[in-house]
Amino acid sequence: MNKMIFAIFWPPLLLALVSLLVTIIFGWLIPVFLQDIAFLEQMLDLSRLTSKPVAAGILFLSIVWIFYQMHELWQWQKGKRPTCHKCGGLVKEKQGKSGSYYQCYGCKSKRDVANQPQ
């Protein structure tokens, strides 16, 4: 269960970290280190001004993604989502060369969508 929770939530949490890095790099590091170059002054001002809205947008997407994953987990716990045939964990549907298949978030096992028990 812990492995599955980690697999579900690490991508949106990584995206939240990217928003923090955008703020640090474009709002502080680049303007501080390049402030002495005169012809970059307007670009540095633009970097400072846009870093926070861009980071806020990325953070917003991350939060929406987290809530979506929480909804998927909740639906799985209620029994309304397909489960893994080996461990009973939450699965995601993917497209492969031979068609759609399910892959478990926890144990990473794969199964064709057509083989889903009713």
Tens of pLDDT along 53-90? 999 999 999 999 999 999 999 999 999 988 888 888 88
How high is the pLDDT of residue 118? 52
Amino acid at 91: V
How high is the pLDDT of residue 45? 87
**Rounded Cα distance, 43 and 41, in Å:** 5
Cβ contact 16:55 at 8 Å:
no
**Rounded Cα distance, 29 and 47, in Å:** 10
- Which of 89, 116, 94 shows the shortest CA–CA distance to 105? 89
**Rounded Cα distance, 97 and 27, in Å:** 44
- Mean pLDDT score, 79-104: 88
Tens of pLDDT along 12-52? 999 999 999 999 999 889 888 888 888 888 888 888 899 99
**Rounded Cα distance, 100 and 104, in Å:** 13
**Rounded Cα distance, 57 and 116, in Å:** 38
Q: What is the pTM of this model?
A: 0.81
How high is the pLDDT of residue 117? 60
How high is the pLDDT of residue 85? 86
Please provide the DSSP assignment of 97-113 as one string: TTEEEEEETTT--EEEG
How high is the pLDDT of residue 43? 87
